[in-house]
Structure 1
Amino acid sequence: MAKSEDSAPDPKVSPPNTYGAVVIGGTFDRLHDGHRRFLKAAAADFARDRIVVGVCDGPMLTNKKYSELIQPIERRMENVQDYIKSIKPQLLVQVEPITDPYGPSIVDENLEAIVVSKETLPGGLSVNKRRAERGLSQLKVCLLADTY
């Protein structure tokens, strides 16, 4: 029986759990619904084995509006870890503080993809440029919808 065109997979959409190791980054100041949707998509939809999350700290917070209200780094890292584990317990979750826009994304040779939003797409592309300079493989840049 031949497949109809309607049942053919969309080549623009990666199948779930496509990448063994995925990286994301953010401030994750007081985990809200937007953060949860972003973390869930990155963890549940793209990461198969491991997710690396860079949580902004130090100089990365200097220009943040209402920076005095941002929770301490330890609390934000714990919240991210706990949330991801609650939606995908089998996933290895590595949460690290980052003090520059790159963090582990330009040193971890086992990463396969970076998940970005429309606003952070330039940063994802910059990560690949820095990885190339270091002789590391290019990451698949996975762009999520504007709702994140």
Structure 2
Amino acid sequence: MKKFKKVVVGGTFDRLHLGHKALLRKAFEVGKIVYIGLTSDEMVREKPYAEKILPYERRLRDLLLFLEVNNLKEYRIIKINNAIGFTTKIKSLEAIVVSEETYKGALLVNKAREEVGLRPLEIIVIPLVKSKLGGKISSSLIRAGLIDPFGNPIHHQNL
């Protein structure tokens, strides 16, 4: 059941993994229209293994493919250059979907909205998706070659 008309979710969405997919599915579950902030190449330069992050155009293509395959239609993808992105520009946003790890980002968004006279967004938090190694599935671990996008450990053969 759609609870909100417009929700926002954001991220780098590098090497779409189960955690990303859970986040996106939750956003579409609770929102009629989902605004997706996709980080620019400039914004990801400080991330772990930044040199291995796929370029924006490739991440956008992968995201569009996921949305198409899952028949998710009501969305807008907007390139963002910082954590606040467009959230202070679209007054009609009602909620933000984050993981436990990115909850602090939602607080920053709400602070920025309040500073420009907008009401804060309702924060919807999903639990982290765990890998088979026990920790969370993350793009950093995938880029490091430790797990695959499903959270399975990658066993390296000794050469």
Q: TM-score, normalised on structure 2?
A: 0.74
Instruction: Please state if 1:146 is matched with 2:131.
Output: no
Instruction: Please state if 1:97 is matched with 2:76.
Output: no
Q: CA deviation at 1:135?
A: 1.2
Q: CA deviation at 1:18?
A: 0.5
Task: Give the AA of the match of 1:96.
Answer: I
Unaligned runs of 5+ in 1: 1-15
Instruction: Please state if 1:47 is matched with 2:31.
Output: yes
Distance in 2 separating the partners of 1:93 and 1:78 = 14
Q: CA deviation at 1:81?
A: 2.7
Q: CA deviation at 1:129?
A: 0.9
Q: Percent identity?
A: 35
Partner of 1:77: 60
Q: 2:37·2:77 contact (CA, 8 Å) conserved in 1? A: yes
Distance in 1 separating the partners of 2:9 and 2:3 = 15
Task: Give the AA of the match of 1:138.
Answer: P
Q: Hey, which bits of structure 1, 4+ residues long, moved more than 6 A?
A: none
Q: How big is each residue's C-alpha offset from its partner over 1:62-91, in whole Å with a ceiling of 9 and x where there is no partner? A: 2211212211112212322332243244x3
Structure 2 CA distance for partners of 1:112 and 1:102, relative to 1, 3 Å: same
SS in 1 for 2:117: coil
Over the aligned positions, Cα root-mean-square deviation in angstroms equals: 1.6
Q: TM-score, normalised on structure 1?
A: 0.80
Q: 2:41·2:55 contact (CA, 8 Å) conserved in 1? A: no
Q: 1:24·1:52 contact (CA, 8 Å) conserved in 2? A: yes
SS in 1 for 2:9: strand
Q: 2:12·2:39 contact (CA, 8 Å) conserved in 1? A: yes
